[in-house]
Structure 1
Amino acid sequence: MAGSLTDEQLAQHVYGSLQVASCPLVQGLYLPEADILPLLCSPSELRINVLAWICSSINPNFANHKATVMSSKDPDLLTKEITAFGQELMLCKGDDLELIRGNASPHRQLRFLEQLLTLVPHFKKSAGLPDGEALLNELFAAESLPHLTQMLKPTLDPWPVNIKALRKSTKSSSKPREAVSDVAALLQSTQSELEQLKSKCDFLVNEEKSLPVFSPSSLRLVACDLQQLMTTFCHVYETDLRAYCTRDPPRFSTEIDVFQRVHELLLACNTELEMLKEVSEASESMNEEVKQLQTQPRYWSRGEKHTLPDQLQDLTKRIEDFLWQLHS
């Protein structure tokens, strides 16, 4: 679309895009149409600042680098930095200083500005369309008046008789048998998919296996899902199914005390089971330790290792001998 516009129209489009992008350098600046093209395509400090603002909007780090560039004594340093930035974006060459200064052709400068503006974040480009005033000028041009008149007074009325008859014949020519066969095929495919899903569910196929133990968190999740399903069913029933059913809708209790009590009882039961498991493990560990004390030699006596029963028996015998010597 931009290729079919003149330089003046493209300049107005770029200037309007700068205002839409909230460029502070052109905000509140109302210029005649004849002054827009020289402003954007002639060498000036304002034009360089506009380019610097666009580059800073695309890359915030360029704004910090701009302060260092402005303090430099080289007047062309900012122009060189913008040229290098445009080269990084692959919009110009590294030696296109004349394009940045404003000495290139107006069409090329405007295309460069337009491409830069498309990279500004949070800027919604108008998809290459001209602004409102240019669009109205093109719409009400002399060569466009016949098309505009035809659009305002169409010769073809909406929905003529032949089209209505064609729609009616299309509706009446539908074959119920084909629709029934299509529905049957859909049901068959759905049944096949359900069978495949059922084969993937181990807890449905392997019924002989023990059921997994539900934790309190899983039970809480199941209870919440059940409550949401009941609420959804009530809503669907009231909005869609009530007209086809003569029975009163089922009433679900909103009380959740039963879920809380079940959760507390299951939590207490799990705690007791864990305690019994720990007691059993401790008892087995003690039995193993006692068994090792009775069977494994651990105690030294007279240069040899002895088991605890043997050591106790020897100690008892020595005490008896000592007592016998005292009495004698």
Structure 2
Amino acid sequence: MAGALKEKELAQQLYAALQAASCPLVDGLYLQEADSMLQLFCPPSQHRTEILAWICSSISPSFANSKAMAMRSKEPDALNKEMAMLGQELMLCKAGDMDLIKGETNPYRQLQFLEQLLTLVPGCKTSCGHKMDEEMLLNELYSAENLPHLTEMLNPTFDPWPAHMKALHKGAKLYSKQTQNEATDIASLLQSTQSALMELQSECEFLSNEAQSAAIFSPSSLRVAAGDLQQLMATFSHVYETDLRSYCSRDHPSFSSDSNVFQRVHQLLLACNTELEMLNELSEASVYMNEEVNKLQTEPRYWCRGEKRPLPDQLEALIRRSKELLTLLHI
């Protein structure tokens, strides 16, 4: 019940914020009921997609070009993907949160996403804040989850803070102490590093020359180089301890001085390579001969009685003529 009430309140705030930002897509709607406003923002619809596209265009002027390209694209989800990419750039969602863009996820999450986007619209930051009238404030105070705390506040017998507020307060104290300790450690580390760098600078003669140091070296570049060297040494030490130590302790391998084996292997590989090349050329020649034979059988190349005919037709005509001559000779 309390979750539905929060969703309705957030929908009312979003509708008021869009009206304050002069969104043309809410002009002429004149919605009064919270359910109607919630129905406008949460279920998937073309109107909701257009409102979300208008908000993205108001945040990023370059989104208008991306929107035009997405509208011309044949892909149906091109515009939704462009809005998801903008949300990822603003660190409000992921590029794969298509259900959030389409309006197919939890309504409260959708409303929170729209509220975060509206805070980035110029001139809309103050209008998108939490606005509560007297009735909404009373409903919040006298809700079922806050009523026990309200009763305890009116008649306090113990510490009126709830358990989760106590834990949060203790965690804040512990965090502040931990932060102070870390700050002290970082300050001491920086002090020791600075003293080590000053000692190193005093030992380096080339750093005493102001002309050379101004042109080539600087304390900041030396600090960066020293930090990189420390990281490389630490990385190499770790790799050496985990992977290389066992190999460094072994004896070096002994190789045979006889090179005839390698020479024979090289000759055999060379002969095998030559044979493979010959087989490849033979295969290519076979394919070429097959193509030529097919051309002889199918392409008209030989003249007969004023027209070109293929070889099988020409042979058939010759055989027929020879048979006719033989029959005439027998007669």
| TM-score, structure 2 normalization | 0.39
Give the structure-1-normalised TM-score. 0.40
Report which of the two structures shows the higher radius of gyration computed on alpha carbons: 1
